[in-house]
Amino acid sequence: MTEPAAHRDAGAFLRVHGLVKHFGGMRALDDLSFSVARGECLTLLGPSGCGKTTMLRCIAGFEFPDSGQIEIDGQCVCDPERGVNVLPERRQFGMVFQSYAVWPHMTVEQNVAYGLRNRGAAKADISARVSEVLRMVGLAGRESHNVTRLSGGQQQRVALARALVYRPKVLLFDEPLSNLDARLRERMRQELRRLHKETAITSIYVTHDQEEAMVVSDRIVVMNEGRIQQIGSPSEVYDRPVSRFVADFVGNSNILEGCVERADAKSALVALEGGENLFLRCAVGERPAPGAAVAVSFHPEEVHVAASRPANAENILAGIIVSRSDMGGFIDYRVRVGREVIRVDAPRRTQHSEGQEVFLQIGAESCQCLCR
């Protein structure tokens, strides 16, 4: 078997190649391959049940895949074909769970020091490391507190400190923030990002929240039904989705069906199916064949809405506002264009009312052409 490119990727610190995992007859992971560079934070993003946790648990050694290989820092930790399955405690990773999983029968100090004690660190060293890490996560001076008395956010910090303290090779996060309230979640995101920058520990972060993925990670792996949909930086995945699924899941985009009217190397004119004489010009990577069935996607916030038709501009759609909701930070309009309803996130200062006729302008560079 020839080794695929991903497998030979020299800069990779953690490599997953061709991972397959069944639960009964159900294929939870379907031929997954990706790699993470040293010091990088990679996010596995996908809807509930797409296999993110399963993937993470395979890396940790809590699940054993049916086939494929996992390599951490040059060492193969898991290869069913060769019968390699390194014990979890030998894989030198740290893990933060959704449920925190702090040990209620131990104090904060005991929780955090546990990993160091298991590695036979010296006493003085342990207390120094523990207070350093607790300071890093903002829990300085809480060593002797009972973990069950801490708030959810603080417990999650303890879990984080516990995973950081022994400087693992890889940090695994399984939806660590999803049990926290919205405000705290936002703050913790930033802190996780800061901590990652500070420690530069290679991390894999699992979430189903695309905003969270955008904030914390260097690169995103979008998954669906056990398969990888797209790998790229947050802006690549957001701005250049390769499939309807990614456009919808990551960008929450408007997706309109159509077919290519004519195309050149940089852009294509797409006739939309939703009505007569509706055309959108979109940016393309490679030139699509005229007549090909495609979809056009664009983000709600990239639509400009105006009461009167902008002069001599391209990509204008006329429609009627069917609803208007004040979302606080922006106004969410739903605009009927032909048979389609388009979501528009407009600035607060726009004052259009329901039933009003408006004109939507979408920059050609904001429109993505997705092949069907």
Ligand X SMILES: Nc1ncnc2c1ncn2[C@@H]1O[C@H](COP(=O)(O)OP(=O)(O)OP(=O)(O)O)[C@@H](O)[C@H]1O
By CB under 5 A, the count of residues binding Mg ion is: 1
Tell me which of 50, 159, 221, 263 binds ligand X, using CB under 6 A: 50
**Which of the listed partners (ligand X, another protein, Mg ion, none) does 101 bind, with a CB threshold of 5 to 8 Å by partner kind?**
another protein
Whether the Cβ atoms of residue 35 and residue 6 lie closer than 8 Å to each other: yes
By CB under 8 A, the count of residues binding another protein is: 33
Structure tokens at 10: 């020299």
Positive or negative: CA dihedral 223, 224, 228, 231:
negative
Alpha helices in the chain (DSSP H): 5-8, 52-60, 108-118, 123-136, 152-164, 182-199, 210-216, 234-239, 244-251
Largest Cα–Cα distance of the chain, in whole Å?
A: 77
CA–CA distances in Å: residue 61 to residues 73, 76, 355: 15, 12, 58
Q: Which residue has the closest beta carbon to ligand X?
A: 53
Whether the Cβ atoms of residue 251 and residue 241 lie closer than 8 Å to each other: yes
- Of 98 and 233, which CB lies nearer to ligand X in the complex structure? 98
Compose the 182-221 pattern: x for residues touching ligand X by CB under 6 A, - for all others: --------------------------x-------------
CA–CA distances in Å: residue 232 to residues 114, 210, 222, 297, 299: 36, 13, 9, 18, 18
**Which of the listed partners (another protein, ligand X, Mg ion, none) does 107 bind, with a CB threshold of 5 to 8 Å by partner kind?**
none
Which window, 49-57, 153-161, 234-242, 279-287, contacts ligand X (CB under 6 A)?
49-57
Distance of alpha carbon 68 from alpha carbon 113, whole angstroms: 34
Tell me which of 26, 38, 66, 293 binds another protein, using CB under 8 A: 66
**Which residues in 22-61 contact Mg ion (CB under 5 A)?**
53
Which window, 52-60, 134-142, 182-190, 238-246, contacts ligand X (CB under 6 A)?
52-60
Whether the Cβ atoms of residue 146 and residue 102 lie closer than 8 Å to each other: no
Tell me which of 41, 51, 344, 362 binds ligand X, using CB under 6 A: 51
**Which residues in 74-103 contact another protein (CB under 8 A)?**
80, 83, 85, 87-89, 92-95, 97, 99, 101, 103
- Of 22 and 240, which CB lies nearer to another protein in the complex structure? 22
Which window, 55-63, 128-136, 240-248, 347-355, contacts another protein (CB under 8 A)?
55-63
Whether the Cβ atoms of residue 305 and residue 360 lie closer than 8 Å to each other: yes
- Of 112 and 260, which CB lies nearer to another protein in the complex structure? 112
- Of 47 and 355, which CB lies nearer to Mg ion in the complex structure? 47
| Beta-strand runs (E) in 264-315 | 267-272, 279-283, 293-298, 303-306
Name the site residues for another protein (rule: CB under 8 A).
22, 60-64, 66-67, 80, 83, 85, 87-89, 92-95, 97, 99, 101, 103-105, 114-115, 118-119, 159, 162-163, 166, 172
